């Protein structure tokens, strides 16, 4: 019969992937990625949107030409006014009055903004009233950031309380560490690639925390199920039971992530990419990156970190030592594994057929003999209940 494929074994939890055994590798990779992200934060920083950095935005009818042509003409108009102003982003946006291009520039004074609007109207050959503009202060962005940070702190505090009540404090620490890692890595991708950070991005960051938490809770629930009462037997260590839980829940986590990424990918690649709905790009991008990273951190970081914390617990340490000591004794032949046939005391000792048959049917320790009792007998005594007196006659 053909062997089962990897997908079938994953569905049954029989793939045997050694996630916990390679936890040092995952920790090293996570540390390297965090270091890379922190270096990017310090050297490159973030490409802040107009809401955070401050600036001006202009809405120009899409009928003036292509997006590239529009951006070039706006740069020409800005250069004509001087002052070092430049275009930050340009995107096509759909509205009730038709499609238009939204051009965002660096900070301009009110006089400069009016002069640039007139210059752009001359460049495009349209009336100045057809171009609308507004100015955004960076104070609004800082207010959004402070509220987002407050929401993040409250969310993490509530998550800690829930996980401690639902599981234990070690699982809470491992789960929150995974969430923080998810945020750092997602932010690192934004910094390295140069994605623009907008209020939609901040909302997306808070959204992926809920998804990442769900993924971690699914795995931890299976870990708790596999490790309940684990110290009562010497069959497997805590790490092995946790690794089995990962294998058993891996396909569920993968399916959940794929199902969640499909609509987000459609929002990002079809809505923002093909249809040009630029307002969807920021939210779709952070959700797509964050959900993909959340799946990896929940599998490769949260549970291995939990095992690392549990191995410091004296009760688990003693249990792991007992399991390893028993395996060493079995390997040396000092202990016979449960259910294994006992070795012959002497290989040269002749064994007759009757002895072999009796040995094959040897009862377990404490078991009753398998032979039937005589019919009508009670406890092997003659029928009639005469006790120890011969004949069992009645007393006269």
Task: Quickly tell me which residue has 């004949």 as its tokens.
Answer: 391
Q: Distance of CA 183 to CAs 151, 170, 187, 208, 355, Å?
A: 14, 20, 6, 9, 70
In this structure, what are the phi and psi dihedrals at residue 109, rounded to the nearest 5 degrees?
-75, 170
Spatial separation of the C-alpha atoms in residues 58 and 104, rounded to whole Å:
6
Residue carrying the six token digits 């102003």: 85
The residue to which tokens 């805590």 are assigned = 238
Would you give the end-to-end CA distance of the chain in angstroms? 78
User: Closest by alpha carbon to 152, among 204, 217, 91?
Assistant: 204
Under 8 Å between Cβ of 101 and 91 = yes
| Cα 387 to the center of its chain, rounded Å | 74
Give the per-residue pLDDT at 378.
45
CA distance 108 to 157: 41
- What is the full per-residue pLDDT of the chain (396 aa) written as tens digits? 445 666 667 666 666 788 998 999 999 999 999 999 999 998 988 888 777 877 888 888 888 878 788 888 888 888 877 767 788 777 777 655 667 888 888 888 888 888 888 888 888 888 888 888 888 777 777 787 788 888 888 988 998 999 999 889 999 999 999 999 998 998 998 888 887 788 878 888 888 888 888 888 888 998 999 888 888 888 889 999 999 889 888 888 888 888 888 888 877 777 655 655 555 677 778 888 888 888 888 889 999 999 999 999 999 989 889 988 888 887 777 766 665 555 444 444 444 444 333 334 334 433 444 444 444 444 444 444 444 444 444 443
CA dist 142 and 136 (Å) reads 12
Structure confidence at residue 389 (pLDDT): 46
- pLDDT score, position 81: 72
Tokens of 2: 């053909």
SS3 state of residue 252: helix
Residue 155 CA to residue 52 CA, distance in Å, equals 23
Q: What is the CA radius of gyration of the chain?
A: 36
* 225, 308 contact by CB (below 8 A): no
């Amino acid at each position: 019969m053909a062997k089962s494929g990897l997908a079938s074994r994953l569905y049954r939890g029989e793939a045997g992937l050694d996630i916990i055994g390679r936890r040092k590798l995952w920790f090293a990779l996570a540390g390297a990625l965090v270091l890379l992200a922190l270096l990017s934060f310090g050297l490159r920083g973030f490409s802040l949107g107009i809401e955070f950095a401050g600036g001006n935005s202009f809405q120009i009818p899409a009928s003036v030409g292509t997006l590239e042509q529009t951006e070039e003409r706006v740069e020409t108009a800005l250069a004509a006014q001087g002052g070092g102003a430049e275009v930050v982003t340009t995107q096509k946006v759909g509205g009730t009055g038709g499609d238009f291009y939204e051009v965002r520039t660096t900070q301009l004074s009110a006089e400069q903004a009016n002069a640039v609007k007139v210059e752009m109207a001359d460049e495009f050959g349209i009336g100045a009233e057809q171009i609308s503009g507004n100015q955004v202060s960076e104070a609004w962005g800082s207010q959004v950031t402070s509220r987002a940070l407050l929401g993040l702190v409250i969310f993490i505090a509530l998550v800690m309380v829930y996980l401690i009540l639902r599981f234990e404090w070690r699982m809470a620490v491992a789960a929150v560490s995974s969430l923080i890692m998810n945020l750092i890595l997602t932010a690192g991708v934004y910094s390295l690639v140069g994605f623009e950070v907008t209020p939609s991005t901040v909302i997306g960051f808070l959204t992926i925390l809920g998804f990442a938490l769900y993924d971690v809770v699914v795995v931890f629930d299976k870990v708790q199920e596999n490790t309940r009462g684990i110290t009562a037997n010497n069959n497997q260590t805590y790490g092995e039971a946790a690794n089995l839980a990962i294998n058993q829940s891996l396909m569920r986590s993968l399916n959940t992530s794929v199902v969640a990424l499909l609509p987000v990918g459609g929002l990002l690649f079809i809505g923002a990419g093909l249809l040009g709905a630029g307002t969807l790009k920021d939210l779709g991008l952070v959700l797509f990156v964050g959900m993909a990273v959340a799946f990896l951190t929940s599998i490769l970081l949260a549970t291995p970190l939990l095992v690392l914390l549990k191995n410091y617990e004296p009760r688990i340490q003693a249990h792991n030592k007992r399991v390893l000591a028993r395996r060493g004794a079995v390997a040396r032949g000092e202990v016979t594994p449960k259910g294994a046939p006992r070795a012959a005391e002497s290989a040269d000792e002749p064994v007759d057929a009757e002895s072999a048959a009796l040995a094959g049917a040897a009862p377990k320790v404490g078991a009753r003999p398998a032979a039937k009792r005589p019919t009508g007998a009670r406890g092997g005594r003659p029928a009639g209940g005469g006790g120890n007196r011969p004949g069992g006659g009645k007393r006269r």
